[in-house]
């Protein structure tokens, strides 16, 4: 290198931005040099971004979001916060980062393959919500990193590896004008398209990027700068020729200018409510403060009860299982609750697997239950064979069908829903069944179950009815037990 | 010494090892005082070099350059 002879009276006015690292990772040979190809627009775009961050003095507050594509290398350059996200998801991740850290300046830096194709939903909705983030959208009308496939932004006629005969509208659609699409929404505060086709355009881009960041700093809402950028390598052009193409061709397809600017009339968005302190969470989530009474579980040794509740949708199958699991948890047991149901809200099949155990639970699946609660006949027939010998079956009906009887399990038939109906509503039939279960298998103390019910069932009216239903279930099963065994199934 | 030589207002320093020889600074320079070196740098590019005279410190080469740290522009204090 020739000798540097800067005249003594001169001061540096343009130099490498301070918010960029001195050396970059994964550059074995020359760690001061970016990873980009000669003449790549990314270098200019990130340089302008870095300069704006320095000038605004926000480096300590900035979180840049690296997407997928050549843009990802941002994490090697910016000495700021950084999160690397899945393809196209930068605006969604940026939303979360901004909401969790309202003081942060969150910048999603994305290419056109990332933003306009796989990430089109994320950017559309972030813009529509007016999320106070800044998006730098580097558009070179091609997939660069993967070797030149057609992007949504590729011009008609553009030859790419996936459109070898040129992009045709009838087959490949039209070039997507992202800035115009987003500007049509009410959410964004500021959207401008700029280019890197010559120094004049680059200085325009510099101004726009700065304004976008200022828009976020003032809390005015969503800002996006679309940067038309050269990709000399994939375009198979030398850098000067590629710059000419940006200037003369791309700007015809994608006109430059401000697409929307509501910064003058926008009021700063209200600051999001601060997250509650950690110690407040148990109260907010209504987690009981006292330690659950785990002594019983320990004293009794091995508790491992596998319960299957089955019926059709709308019978309260899942709630029944949930109450068991909640009460078990309050009681200091390990629990699992695995619902399994069809897409219908009512009348489809519905069942759930519940495990209550004094040891850690390996699998939440209950394929051979100790207890089966069958709320209809198909469920009884389907699962009765799987019940473990010595187990318990509770069936919603007046009598166990003869061909579904087993001699090696205790089987009880009770019309749960009719009993509930007499109490006020057939809907509480699941609680009658729960009462019967607790009577047949003394798993959990009554007060523990009652406390779980009070927590899970929010409505006073229903809680009152459900408490009565539970009691009737207990009584009905006790009466059944006291009857002399007239059939072998009542073991 | 001749009084006819006007003093330059600016000066640039190009880090030749960072330069990838894209030529955009040469294209951007209005004073036409940057050119491609006839030799190659370590990475096989013809790096941009400053003539050493004629810079007015406008900074256009800095903004044209895609490398964040390849060009530093100096200017005489006003």
Q: Give the ipTM.
A: 0.92
A485: pLDDT strictly greater than 90: no
In tens, the pLDDT along A164-181 reads 999 999 999 999 999 999
Extract the residue ranges of chain B whose pLDDT is less than 50.
Answer: 1-3
Q: Does A209 touch chain B (CB under 8 A)?
A: no
Task: Supply angle C-alpha A317, A343, A361, rounded to 5.
Answer: 50
Helical spans, DSSP H, in A254-339? 281-284, 295-299, 317-330
Report yes or no: A20 and A79 within 8 Å, Cβ to Cβ: yes
CATH of B10-75, one of 3.40.50.300, 3.90.1150.10, 3.30.70.20, 3.30.70.60: 3.30.70.20
Three-state DSSP class for residue A168: coil
- Cβ proximity of A20 and A32 under 8 Å: no
**Considering CB atoms only, which of B49, B52, B66 is closest to A44?**
B66
Closest B-chain CA to A7: B11
**Separation in Å, CA of B15 to nearest CA in chain A:** 8
**B64–chain A Cβ distance below 8 A for any pair:** yes
Q: Does B71 touch chain A (CB under 8 A)?
A: yes
What does each C-alpha distance from A337 to A347, A352, A374, A428 come to in angstroms? 21, 7, 17, 20
Q: Minimal Cα–Cα distance from A71 to chain B, Å? A: 14
Q: What is the mean pLDDT of residues A431-439?
A: 95
> Does residue A285 belong to the interface with chain B, where contact is any CB pair within 8 Å?
no
- How far apart are alpha carbons A28 and A36 in whole angstroms? 14
- Is the minimum CB–CB distance between B10 and chain A shorter than 8 Å? yes
Name chain A contacts of B57, Cβ cutoff 8 Å: 10, 13
Q: How far is CA A226 from the centre of its chain?
A: 27
C-alpha distance from A2 to closest chain B C-alpha (Å): 9
Whether residue A4 has pLDDT greater than 80: no
Residue of B nearest to A243 (CA): B24
Q: Closest by alpha carbon to A71, among A41, A93, A96?
A: A41
* Shortest CA distance from B78: residue in chain A: A10
Q: Hey, where are the domains in chain B? A: 10-75
**pLDDT tens readout for residues A215-271:** 999 999 999 999 999 999 999 999 999 999 999 999 999 999 999 999 999 999 887
* CB-count burial class (<10 Å; 0-12, 13-18, 19+) for B48: buried
Q: Is A50 near chain B, with CB under 8 Å?
A: yes
**Which superfamily is assigned to A293-482 in CATH?**
Pyruvate-ferredoxin oxidoreductase, PFOR, domain III (3.40.920.10)
**Whether B20 and A6 lie within 8 Å, measured CB to CB:** no
Residue in chain B lying closest to A197 (CA): B64
Closest CA to A111 of A146, A76, A63, A60: A146
In chain A, which residues have their Cβ closer than 8 Å to the Cβ of B63? 14, 44, 47-48, 199, 202-203, 206
Phi, psi of A54 (to 5 degrees): -60, -50
Contact A490, A411 (CB under 8 A): yes
* Range from A1-15, A229-243, A457-471 carrying the lowest mean pLDDT: A1-15
In total, the C-beta contacts within 8 angstroms joining chain A to chain B are 121
Contact A33 B63 (CB under 8 A): no
Q: What is the mean pLDDT of residues A27-31?
A: 71
pLDDT digits (tens, 9 = 90+) for A115-156: 999 999 999 999 999 999 999 999 999 999 999 999 999 999
| pLDDT number for residue A42 | 96
- Kindly list the distances between the CA atom of residue A250 and the CA atoms of A82, A153, B23, in Å, as whole numbers in the listed order: 31, 10, 21
For A240, name the nearest residue in chain B, comparing CA atoms only: B24
Per-residue pLDDT reduced to its tens digit, A322-357: 999 999 998 889 999 999 877 666 667 888 999 999
- Closest chain A CA to residue B67: A43
Nearest residue in chain B measured CA to CA from A43: B66
Q: Do B63 and A203 touch (CB under 8 A)?
A: yes
Minimum distance, in Å, between the CA of residue A284 and any CA atom of chain B = 49
CA A15 to chain centre: 41
Mean pLDDT across chain A, nearest whole number? 91
Distance from the Cα of A192 to chain B's closest Cα (Å) equals 19
pLDDT of A488 strictly over 50: no
Residues of chain B found within 8 Å of residue A12, distances taken between Cβ atoms: 72-74
* Residue found by looking up tokens 């942060």 in the block: A104
B58 touches chain A (CB under 8 A): no
Q: Which of A225, A224, A229 minimizes the C-alpha distance to A196? A: A229
Locate A250 and state its tokens: 């791309």
The fold of A41-261 is Rossmann fold (3.40.50)
Judge if A41-261 and A293-482 fold alike in CATH terms. no
pLDDT at residue A487, as a whole number: 45
Nearest CA in chain A to B74: A12
Map out the domains of chain A as residue ranges: 41-261, 293-482
Q: Do A44 and B42 touch (CB under 8 A)?
A: no
pLDDT on residue A296: 44
A6 touches chain B (CB under 8 A): yes
Binned at pLDDT 50, 70 and 90, residue A428 comes out as very high
**% chain A with pLDDT above 70:** 93
What does the longest C-alpha to C-alpha distance in chain B come to?
42
Note whether A1 contacts B65, CB cutoff 8 Å: no
- What is the mean predicted confidence (pLDDT) over A449-463? 92
Q: For residue B64, which residues of chain A lie inside 8 Å, CB to CB?
A: 44, 198-199, 202
Q: Quick check: B53 contacting A, CB < 8 Å?
A: no
Q: Which of A7, A12, A33 sits opposite B18 (nearest CB)?
A: A33
Q: How far is CA A491 from CA A371, A410, A443, A465, in A?
A: 14, 5, 19, 31
For residue A24, what pLDDT is reported? 87
The model's pLDDT over A52-108, given as tens digits with 9 standing for 90+, comes to 999 999 999 999 999 999 999 999 999 999 999 999 999 999 999 999 899 999 999
- Mean pLDDT value across residues A378-404: 93
B63 part of contact set with chain A, CB < 8 Å: yes
Cβ-defined contact of B62 to A14 (cutoff 8 Å)? yes
> What does each C-alpha distance from A147 to A78, A162, A347 come to in angstroms?
25, 10, 53
Which 68-87 residues of chain A touch chain B by CB within 8 A?
A: 77
Q: Which residues of B touch A43 (CB under 8 A)?
A: 65-68
Record: contact B66-A4, CB cut-off 8 A: no
């Amino acid at each position: 290198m020739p000798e540097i002879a800067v005249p003594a009276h001169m001061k540096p006015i343009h130099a490498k931005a301070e918010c960029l690292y001195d050396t970059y990772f994964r550059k074995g040979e020359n760690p001061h040099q970016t990873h980009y190809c000669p003449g790549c627009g990314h270098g200019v775009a990130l340089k302008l971004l870095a300069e704006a961050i320095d000038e605004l003095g926000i480096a300590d507050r900035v979180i840049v979001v690296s997407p997928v594509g050549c843009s990802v290398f941002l994490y090697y350059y910016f000495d700021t916060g950084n999160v690397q996200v899945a393809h196209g998801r930068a605006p969604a991740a940026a939303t979360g980062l901004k909401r969790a850290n309202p003081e942060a300046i969150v910048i999603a830096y994305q290419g056109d393959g990332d933003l306009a194709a796989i990430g089109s939903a994320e950017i559309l909705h972030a813009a529509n919500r007016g999320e106070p983030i800044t998006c730098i959208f580097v558009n070179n009308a091609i997939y660069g990193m993967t070797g030149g496939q057609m992007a949504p932004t590729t011009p008609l006629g553009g030859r790419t590896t996936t459109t070898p005969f040129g992009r045709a509208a009838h087959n490949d659609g039209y070039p997507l004008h992202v800035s115009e699409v987003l500007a049509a929404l009410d959410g964004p505060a500021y959207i401008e398209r700029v280019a890197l086709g010559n120094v004049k355009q680059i200085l325009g881009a510099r101004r726009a990027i700065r304004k976008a960041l200022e828009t976020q700093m003032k809390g005015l809402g969503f800002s996006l700068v679309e940067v038309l950028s050269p990709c000399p390598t994939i375009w198979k052009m030398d850098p000067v020729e590629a710059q000419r193409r940006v200037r003369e061709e791309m700007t015809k397809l994608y006109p430059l200018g401000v697409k929307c600017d509501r910064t003058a009339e926008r009021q700063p968005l209200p600051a999001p409510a601060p997250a509650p302190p950690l110690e407040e969470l148990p109260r907010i989530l209504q987690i009981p403060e006292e330690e659950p009474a785990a002594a019983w579980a320990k004293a009794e040794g091995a508790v491992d009860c596998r319960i299957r509740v089955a019926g059709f949708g709308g019978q309260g199958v899942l709630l029944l299982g949930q109450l068991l699991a909640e009460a078990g948890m309050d009681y200091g047991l390990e629990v699992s609750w695995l619902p399994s149901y069809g897409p219908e809200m009512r009348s489809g099949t519905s069942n759930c697997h519940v495990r209550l155990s004094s040891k850690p639970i390996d699998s939440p699946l209950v394929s051979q239950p100790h207890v089966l609660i069958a709320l209809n006949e198909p469920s009884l027939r389907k699962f009765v064979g799987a019940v473990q010998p010595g187990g318990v079956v509770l069936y919603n009906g007046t009598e166990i069908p003869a061909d579904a009887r087993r001699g090696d399990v205790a089987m009880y038939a009770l019309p749960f829903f009719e009993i509930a109906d007499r109490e006020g509503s057939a809907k509480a039939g699941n609680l009658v069944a729960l009462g019967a279960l607790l009577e047949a298998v003394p798993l959990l103390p009554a007060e523990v179950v009652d406390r779980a019910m009070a927590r899970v069932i929010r409505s006073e009216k229903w809680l009152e009815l459900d408490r009565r239903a539970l009691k009737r279930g207990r009584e009905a099963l006790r009466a059944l037990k006291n009857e002399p065994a007239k059939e072998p199934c009542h073991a | 010494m001749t009084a006819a030589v006007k003093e330059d207002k600016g000066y640039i320093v190009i880090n030749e090892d960072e330069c990838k020889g894209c030529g955009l600074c040469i294209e951007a320079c209005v004073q036409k005082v940057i050119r491609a070196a006839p030799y190659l740098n370590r990475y096989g590019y013809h790096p941009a070099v400053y003539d050493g005279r004629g810079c007015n410190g406008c900074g256009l080469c800095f903004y044209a350059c895609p490398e964040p740290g390849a060009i530093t522009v100096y200017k005489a204090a006003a």
